[in-house]
Amino acid sequence: MEARARGAASLAVEDLTAGYGGVRALNSVTITASGASITAVLGANGAGKTTLLRAISGMVRPRSGRILLDGADQAGRSPEDMARAGIAHVPEGQGVIAELTVEENLRLGTMSWPGMARRRSDRTAALAEAYERFGVLADRRRKLAATLSGGERQMLVIARALIARPRVLLLDEPSLGLAPKIMAQVMDMVVRLSRESGITVVLVEQNARAALAIADHGVVLNLGRVVAAADANTLAADVALRHHYLGF
């Protein structure tokens, strides 16, 4: 595939305020994530976690603040621009197309490429890379996505997002609804994406314990504000924080 900048990313959200109509979902939120790392974004229902990811990927327009990618402010740019800049967003809820095969779902991932990179050989290489990374998908490539288990579907949506070769991967509750064993497999995959592929992962999770177990850093949101930001071990050891905001 066409050579693209694949170096380590540096993401800095500064003083971000965003919302929906009269609802202010994020209030002066600052987070940073860079290089081969996992940053967990935690907090109760309605804390603003999804809105933060939507703002970073251009789906929600910030009212104020900055979204710096490698030092350049991207706030207010379109989702297409953000994708082109190297940010991939996997929304909550396993959005595979059940009536299509695994491979057809993966091919959809190539649609987001800028025109230059849509050569057949590039697509073939990207699919091969996805199958190498996700053996379970290789085995099922001709099967309808409808026949996949919840964990396999989650692997498929992540694999589809990776087809665009992002440097920043935003994951919204990838463990939601999965059995503990399957959830552990998804978490292992997330670790490999950061450690082995150098992707900067921002991981939104309700399951704070599981997320902090694999994350390098964590940010806790409450009612749209950052109430704690520290390395993952520090957050996991903070009994009061766990009790008040993290539910474990």
Residues lying near ligand ATP in the complex (CB under 6 A) are found at 20, 23, 25, 43, 45-51, 206
Sign of the CA dihedral with 235 first, then 241, 243, and 246 last: negative
Residue 127 beta carbon to ligand ATP: minimum distance, rounded to whole angstroms: 31
Q: Closer CB to ligand ATP, residue 50 or residue 105?
A: 50
Choice between 2 and 20, CB closer to ligand ATP: 20
- Nearest distance from residue 73's CB to Mg ion, in Å? 25
Identify whether the C-beta of residue 142 lies closer than 8 Å to the C-beta of residue 166: no
Q: Of 50 and 200, which has the nearer Cβ to Mg ion? A: 50
The residue number whose beta carbon is nearest to Mg ion equals: 50
- For the bound state, the minimum distance from the C-beta of residue 122 to ligand ATP, rounded and expressed in Å, comes to 34
Which is nearer to Mg ion, 17 or 234 (by Cβ)?
Answer: 17
CB of 43 to ligand ATP, least distance (A): 6
Q: How far is the CB of 179 from ligand ATP (least distance, A)?
A: 20
Tokens describing residue 191: 């670790």
Residue closer to Mg ion (CB basis): 49 or 217: 49
The DSSP string of 86-138 is TEEEE-SS----TTSBHHHHHHHHHTTS-GGG--HHHHHHHHHHHHHH-HHHH
- The distance of closest approach from Cβ of residue 103 to Mg ion in the complex, given in angstroms and rounded to an integer, is 29
Q: Give the Cα separation of 234 and 183 in Å (integer).
A: 23
DSSP 144: B
194 binds, among ligand ATP, Mg ion, none (CB under 5 to 8 A by kind): none
Q: What is the distance between the alpha carbons of residues 244 and 188, in angstroms, rounded to a whole number?
A: 28
State the binding partner of 121 from Mg ion, ligand ATP, none, CB within 5 to 8 A by kind: none
Nearer to Mg ion, 57 or 110 (CB): 57
Query: Contact positions toward Mg ion, by CB under 5 A?
Result: 49-50
Scanning the chain, the segments in alpha helix (DSSP H) are: 49-56, 79-84, 102-110, 120-133, 135-139, 150-162, 180-195, 208-214, 232-236, 239-241
Residue 62's binding partner among Mg ion, ligand ATP, none (Cβ under 5 to 8 angstroms by kind) is none
Q: How far apart are CA 178 and CA 155, in angstroms?
A: 12
